[in-house]
Structure 1
Amino acid sequence: MIGKKTGLLMALLAVCMLSSTVLAKDTLQQSGKGIKIWFDTGGPVGETYNTIVQHGAEQAAADLGCDIEFMYSDWSPQKMLENFQKALAAGPDGIVVMGHPGDDAYAPFIKEAVDKGIIVSSSDTELPNLMEKYQASGFGYAGVSNYARGKALATEAVNRFGLKKGDRALVWGLKSQPTRGLSSKALIETLENSGLTVDYMEISPEIDKDASLGTPVITAYLSSNPDCDIVIMDHGALTAQLENFFRAAGIGPDEIIGAGFSLSPATASAIKAGYVDLVGDGQPYLQGYLPVLQIVLTKRFGFSGLEIETGGGFIHTANIDLIAPLAEKAIR
């Protein structure tokens, strides 16, 4: 299996090889011309995180010349499965999924797709068993290790902010989901191993779909737990709402440490305003771009699946001015 550290390099080398092939014919061509891809962006139309994923996929489709159809699942694992069946019925060349439903739930549908010659690749959340089984058929992954990203954010928060035994943390996440939930589990375990008292709340399906609905939930928690030292949102759209949540709870800048995942214009503004202090960046633009490239590489040239780690470190007050203009364009 191709490792995450080498996957991106190999993808770039593949692009160079393709360029050499076309140049040898003295004619520049778009290698994705005529290829049809259905892509599940995961969230609802217009939500911050999956909009960045979609922009990456749109750019890849424009660069490669392929046709792309987007699906929206409101972050519902059940709807992701329904959308996959809809895409399967349309008979495209490739389908991009997000792995929230898990290996077992997807297994019969992806088997049917592969048996029909449809290339399937995954984004955002791993499907390790299915990738192992179908990697030779082009099943790749562009994203982060959910457990690793949770552990990394919690470790960075503890070290950066000097959190210690007895401090209280809130983790608001999706622990119930098979693979996606590993991020929440890692956050909790890492904070508890550092001696913190950790409260956990599961994100409801309604709030998962529309993060603004979380305001009364978080304000009630903060009212009941005035000793909370850090709030971590294991969800990009909830992270984007942190400033609104804190304001609604009567909490000013830098009174509580705010942390989460994924950049957006609202999150960038909240970092500058002192309401969000640390963001783990999985670079979702690449999670849109690379699966489209994967399907084209497999369809045109028989490349097997690439496993590419898109994690891009942390965003905070020291580097937000560099990255914020890209957030405004929904690239970072």
Structure 2
Amino acid sequence: MKIKKWSLALTLLVLLSTNVFAADALKQSGKGIKIWFDTGGPVGGSYNTVVQNGAQQAATDLGCEIEFMYSNWSPQKMIENLKKAIAAGPDGVVVMGHPGDDAYAPLIKEAEEKGIIITSADTELPKLMAQYQAAGFGYAGVSNYGRGKALASEAINRFALKKGDRALVWGLQSRPTRGLSSRAIIETLQAAGIEVDYMEISSEIDKDASLGTSVIAAYLSSNPDCDIVFTDHGALTAQQENFFRAAGLGPDEIIGAGFSLSPATAAGIKSGYVDLVGDGQPYLQGYLPVLQIVLTKRFGFSGLEVQTGGGFIHKGNIDLIEPLAKKGIR
């Protein structure tokens, strides 16, 4: 019988808060454990800062030591960071899956042979998880294809998009696994008869989303019939209001959709420039991998796969969530 992924994780957390493990023991269960955590983005990035906040809270709650790394969303930098982490010899390392299974495979094999627990966040590494799950390799994040399909489907229904409408998808289709999100958005829109333009996010814009202003302004100037823009990137979604203002558009002249909440994204929703956000709850993508490593190290738990997303944020519920975004929790 297949157990629902979230139900399994929720059951585990309930057990940890009851007599199975005394509360005091849980608080100390991470003491002496050293974890290196690649947050994925740049220092101070809108998305990976929320991931870091969750990871730091878990480290505080469990009493373990944590070292953060930053990759500017560069797969090559993520590989370099993992090499650096392995050389330091911690108890566990949290990676983001952007480089893909094949790129990570030799390093994760090396880490596992050295007794270092590896687990992942944000982007799946299905082959590696299947290989090392018994040794604590888990995943906290979303199904990239699933989240893209869900966002596009919700946008089609919510905004009554129809055959002949035009959409821009600005994403990372070239990336293994991570690119599945962009691909799913495109395929879902095209299946509904919507005309789709696609732009790949450059490495420069991936690192610093504000550099995308001239790119999106040029596109919208050349394509005034564009009805909706999908930014498959949390930091770009946070810049949507700035992008559309720079293009001379008002809040009701174009639909903005994207991923991941931040204070800037919340402000854009309230001002009417951002209309729909898929919420992957990155705070949990930070907290749960730290918990995973501690549970594996102390109690021998195998890897848990937890889908952290599934909901949408929009003008109808932003008042409830905005205060949490300002605190770096949502």
- TM-score, normalised on structure 1? 0.97
Q: Secondary structure at the match of 1:48?
A: coil
What's the offset of the Cα at 1:7? 3.4
What's the offset of the Cα at 1:15? 1.8
1:159 maps to which residue?
Answer: 157
What's the offset of the Cα at 1:222? 0.1
**Matching of residue 21 in structure 1 with residue 29 in structure 2:** no
Matches for 1:176-215 after TM superposition, within 5 Å: 176-215=174-213
| 1:248-291 CA distance string (max 9 Å, x none) | 00000111000000000000000000000000000000000000
CA distance in 2, matches of 1:27, 1:169: 53
1:12 maps to which residue?
Answer: 13
| Unaligned segments of structure 2, at least 5 residues | none
1:220 maps to which residue?
Answer: 218
Does the 8 A contact of 1:30 with 1:64 survive in 2? yes
CA distance in 2, matches of 1:14, 1:307: 17
2:29 maps to which residue?
Answer: 31
What's the offset of the Cα at 1:11? 3.1
CA distance in 2, matches of 1:210, 1:5: 33
What's the offset of the Cα at 1:80? 0.1
| 1:268-322 CA distance string (max 9 Å, x none) | 0000000000000000000000000000000000000000010040000000000
Q: Secondary structure at the match of 1:20?
A: coil
Q: Secondary structure at the match of 1:227?
A: coil
1:244 maps to which residue?
Answer: 242
Report the CA distance shift for 1:179/1:235 in structure 2 as closer, same or farther (over 3 A): same
CA distance in 1, matches of 2:15, 2:185: 36
CA distance in 2, matches of 1:2, 1:298: 19
Q: Secondary structure at the match of 1:191?
A: helix
Pick aligned residue for 2:41 from 40, 43, 57: 43
Does the 8 A contact of 1:102 with 1:179 survive in 2? yes
Pick aligned residue for 1:264 from 250, 262, 265: 262
2:171 maps to which residue?
Answer: 173
Does the 8 A contact of 2:16 with 2:22 survive in 1? no
Report the CA distance shift for 1:14/1:103 in structure 2 as closer, same or farther (over 3 A): farther
Equivalent residue letter for 1:305: G
CA distance in 2, matches of 1:14, 1:152: 32
CA distance in 1, matches of 2:212, 2:12: 39
Report the CA distance shift for 1:207/1:6 in structure 2 as closer, same or farther (over 3 A): same
Equivalent residue letter for 1:311: G
| 1:127-153 CA distance string (max 9 Å, x none) | 000000000000000000000000000
Matches for 1:129-168 after TM superposition, within 5 Å: 129-168=127-166
What's the offset of the Cα at 1:14? 4.3
Pick aligned residue for 1:302 from 279, 300, 303: 300
Q: Secondary structure at the match of 2:302?
A: coil
Equivalent residue letter for 2:266: A
Equivalent residue letter for 2:141: G
What's the offset of the Cα at 1:2? 5.9
Report the CA distance shift for 1:48/1:29 in structure 2 as closer, same or farther (over 3 A): closer
Q: Secondary structure at the match of 2:164?
A: coil
Q: Secondary structure at the match of 1:95?
A: strand
Does the 8 A contact of 1:2 with 1:306 survive in 2? no
Equivalent residue letter for 2:188: T
Report the CA distance shift for 1:58/1:28 in structure 2 as closer, same or farther (over 3 A): closer
CA distance in 2, matches of 1:4, 1:28: 22
CA distance in 2, matches of 1:230, 1:53: 28
Aligned residues: CA RMSD: 1.3
What's the offset of the Cα at 1:59? 0.2
2:229 maps to which residue?
Answer: 231
Does the 8 A contact of 1:3 with 1:307 survive in 2? no
What's the offset of the Cα at 1:9? 1.9
Equivalent residue letter for 2:13: L
What's the offset of the Cα at 1:13? 3.6
